[in-house]
Amino acid sequence: MSISSILVANRGEIAVRIIRAAQALGIRTVQVHSAADRDMLAVKLADQAVEIGPPSAAKSYLNIEAVLKAARETGVDAVHPGYGFLSENATFAKAVEDAGLIFIGPRHDAISLLGDKVEARKVASRAGVPTVPGSNGRIDDIAAAREIVEEIGFPVMIKAAAGGGGRGIRIAESMEDFERHFPQASAEALAAFGDGGLYVEKVITRARHVEVQILGDGRNAIHCFERECSLQRRRQKVWEEAPSFRLPESVRKALCESAVALAREVGYRGAGTVEYLYDDETGAFYFIEVNTRIQVEHPVTEMITGIDLVQEMIRIAGGAELSIRQEDVVIRGHAIECRINAEDPMRGFLPGPGLVEALGVPEGDGVRFDTMLYDGYQVPPFYDSLLGKLIVWGESRDHCLDRLGEALDNFEIRGLATTIPLHKALASDPSVAAGDVHTRFLEPWLETEFKAFVASKEVA
């Protein structure tokens, strides 16, 4: 079944991205929105808009019945969930399917299977993908958990069996830490995901976060190479690159092939990401989880491969077979994405929604800005602080870093504090330039190098 109309069940920059991809394919778009988002850019760009609830996400973007009601009343063929909100909610995917509509993403059973991190580890093991040493299943009892952590040794990470986004995660350096953090992590997971189940895994001290982009049509699957996502604050990604730097070609090949093997194991349909920890010291890599949706950082993959991942999602959901052969996917150059958030990095990343008084976006070869902003837009205080993503491409990583520095110098969002100064500091940092980073690099760096960078600018 081909798709002629899509309801976008999301907001912000990803909603804009989906609308533009759909319109390029000649597809009618319907944008749902909360009362707080009546003036957002996606509403202005869509062919039709429907208000589905008050500002609270729980009563609008997370309200399955309200979204489905808008879909029925506007007569769309399909629903695109974007990322976040309902994108990895198997109940929502099934409700869309049961309503006779197309869910632009994996089937609900695949979301359910891979969304449970414990079950996903089992799938990875069946596909021959190495996993981080840890519990073989979910743990609901702290006594059983003690035996496991004594066997694998500290430090360990306590993680929610369901969900993601850094919630329900604690690192324990000792048994005393573990016994204190275990009930806290369970309570947070229960509050965030409705499931207090946990599992534990060994902490790789200087791990890098490397993820592989996959595409599947339910019968065949390919990879679109990998991304580096090691620069993280509180387990939230800040800066992403493609391809991963300083990665031996043999490791790249093994990583990507293992991701495809996993996708084929479950008959994966749509776009997804298989995430890994990579140990720089040993060259070993370990499976973490599968994100069964489009990722925030998908543009860096698009920039180095020339593949429009969102359009491919739409085509596949409409019943088309993969139009891309693995041998046709090649890496060209290097791309970096900076997440521009309405947060003040000089004040502990204090959120700062407000009025966009003026917007000066950098332009030029290899520069792209995916955003929801426009002059005069009032950024609401109710949602994630992401304003947009600056993506820069270069012929090499060094060339890309040079272009990124120039783009950031020519970037202005007047009226609200943003993370642009953070990215200027990262783009000029010697350790970042050398690729000498890992998942625990950024937070200590913020207390030393970033403060020094800010002080030098104040003196100048």
Active site residues: 293
What is the spatial distance between Cα 164 and Cα 235, in angstroms, rounded to a whole number? 10
What is the spatial distance between Cα 432 and Cα 430, in angstroms, rounded to a whole number? 5
What is the spatial distance between Cα 70 and Cα 34, in angstroms, rounded to a whole number? 12
Look up residue 450 and give its DSSP letter.
Answer: I
User: Secondary structure of 146-164 in the HEC alphabet?
Assistant: HHHHHHHCCCEEEEECCCC
* 51 contacts 42 by C-beta, under 8 angstroms: no
Query: Exposure of 149 by Cβ count < 10 A (0-12 exposed, 13-18 middle, 19+ buried)?
Result: buried
C-alpha pair distances (Å), 184 with each of 162, 190, 197, 199, 288: 15, 10, 12, 13, 22
Chain Cα centroid distance, residue 411: 23
Render 33-88 in DSSP notation, one character per residue.
EEGGGTTSHHHHHSSEEEEEE-SSGGGTTT-HHHHHHHHHHHT-SEEE--SSTTTT
* 274 contacts 226 by C-beta, under 8 angstroms: no
Long-range (24+ apart) CB contacts under 8 A made by 430-433 are: 432/231, 433/398, 433/401
CA angle (374, 298, 441) in 5-degree steps: 95
Q: Which two tokens stand for residue 104?
A: 């632009």
Q: Which two tokens stand for residue 240?
A: 């992403």
Query: Exposure of 444 by Cβ count < 10 A (0-12 exposed, 13-18 middle, 19+ buried)?
Result: exposed
Query: Measuring CA to CA, which residue among 429, 391, 394, 395 is closest to residue 408?
Result: 391
Q: Count how many Cα atoms sit within 13 Å of the Cα of residue 72 in the half-sphere of its side chain.
A: 12
* 426 contacts 410 by C-beta, under 8 angstroms: no
What is the spatial distance between Cα 98 and Cα 109, in angstroms, rounded to a whole number? 13
What is the spatial distance between Cα 71 and Cα 312, in angstroms, rounded to a whole number? 22
